[in-house]
């Protein structure tokens, strides 16, 4: 079970200290939300900011591209030290090429789907990816409530992963706190992106430990098929 705090919820006026805080708190990955003001109705930050925080930590950078033209950003993010890059399945015809390009640049390959998108759209790509990011809010803003109707998507992804003996991570993003993380872990998720719920804590270390422990416990409670 991996905990990935989302930098979007950090205090941007103290970014250096925030990156150091996440690192000392024992986060597994740092989730970086890249928004272009077109794919989503908000703008966040780009490769230049990632370049400036890269020397502060060794934590893998999990870059979530909520962008209409991610093809122009793959090389820049590879150059500034991104370790994993996620693109959206809503980009349709572009998806397969994007996944190949991410791999060719030496990064781990992620695919995401928005709440209105049916899980069947990601099925053709499962053998190509290292992680499937199930959005549990409509992307664009932190601090939104978790959409419980997304849980069956996690269960379906888990069923496919097991049946086909695939190794991709199932990651969840949006409205993740101790309770919703446990709910997702029971359904099969193993990477938990959390912005508001972790950055709002004075003591992020114990908060990460608690979320990890709860998800491990909930994951063990997942009903395993016989045989």
The contact set with Zn ion (CB under 5 A) reads 33, 64, 173
Residues with active-site annotation:
33, 173
Nearest to ligand DX5 of 175, 188 (CB atom) = 175
Query: Least distance in Å: CB of 22 to ligand DX5?
Result: 13
Scan residues 2-31 and list those touching ligand DX5 (CB under 6 A).
6, 8-9, 31
Q: 62 has which bridge partners?
A: 31, 84
Residue 182 corresponds to which tokens in the numbers above?
Answer: 């446990």
Question: CB 71 → ligand DX5: shortest distance, Å?
Answer: 20
Place of tokens 């905990």: 3
Closer of 144 and 155 to ligand DX5 (Cβ): 144
Residue whose pair of structure tokens reads 């900011």 in the numeric block: 49
Rg (CA), the chain: 16
Of the two residues 60 and 175, which places its CB atom closer to ligand DX5 in the complex? 175
Element housing 53 (H / E): helix 47-53
Handedness of CA 126, 129, 131, 135 (dihedral sign): negative
Pattern 190-209, binding to ligand DX5, x per CB under 6 A? ---xxxxx------------
* Side-chain half-sphere exposure of 70, counting CA atoms within 13 A: 34
Q: Does residue 140 interact with ligand DX5 by CB under 6 A?
A: yes
Which range, of 92-100, 119-127, 140-148, 154-162, touches ligand DX5 by CB under 6 A? 140-148
Which residues, including other chains, have CB under 8 Å from residue 136's CB and lie 6 or more apart?
115, 146, 147, 150, 172, 173, 174, 175, 176, 180, 184
Residues that bind ligand DX5 (CB under 6 A): 6, 8-9, 31, 33, 64, 137, 139-144, 173-176, 193-197
């Amino acid at each position: 079970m991996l905990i990935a705090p989302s930098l979007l919820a950090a205090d941007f006026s103290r970014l250096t200290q925030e990156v150091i805080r996440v690192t000392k708190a024992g986060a597994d990955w740092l989730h970086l939300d890249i928004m272009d003001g077109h794919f989503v109705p908000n703008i966040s930050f780009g490769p230049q900011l990632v370049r400036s925080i890269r020397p502060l930590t060794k934590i893998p950078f999990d870059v979530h591209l909520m962008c209409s033209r991610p093809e122009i950003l793959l090389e820049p993010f590879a150059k500034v030290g991104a370790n994993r890059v996620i693109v959206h399945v809503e980009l349709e015809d572009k998806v397969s090429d994007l996944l190949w390009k991410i791999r060719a640049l030496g990064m781990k390959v992620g695919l995401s789907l928005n709440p209105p998108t049916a899980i069947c759209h990601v099925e053709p790509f499962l053998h190509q990816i290292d992680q499937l990011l199930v959005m549990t809010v409509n992307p664009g803003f932190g601090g939104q409530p978790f959409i419980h109707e997304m849980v069956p998507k996690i269960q379906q992804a888990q069923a496919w992963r097991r049946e086909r003996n695939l190794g991709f991570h199932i990651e969840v993003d949006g409205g993740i706190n101790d309770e919703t993380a446990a709910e997702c872990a029971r359904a099969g998720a193993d990477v938990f992106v959390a912005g508001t719920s972790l950055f709002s804590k004075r003591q992020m270390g114990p908060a990460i430990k608690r979320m990890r422990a709860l998800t491990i416990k909930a994951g063990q409670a997942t009903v395993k098929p016989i045989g």
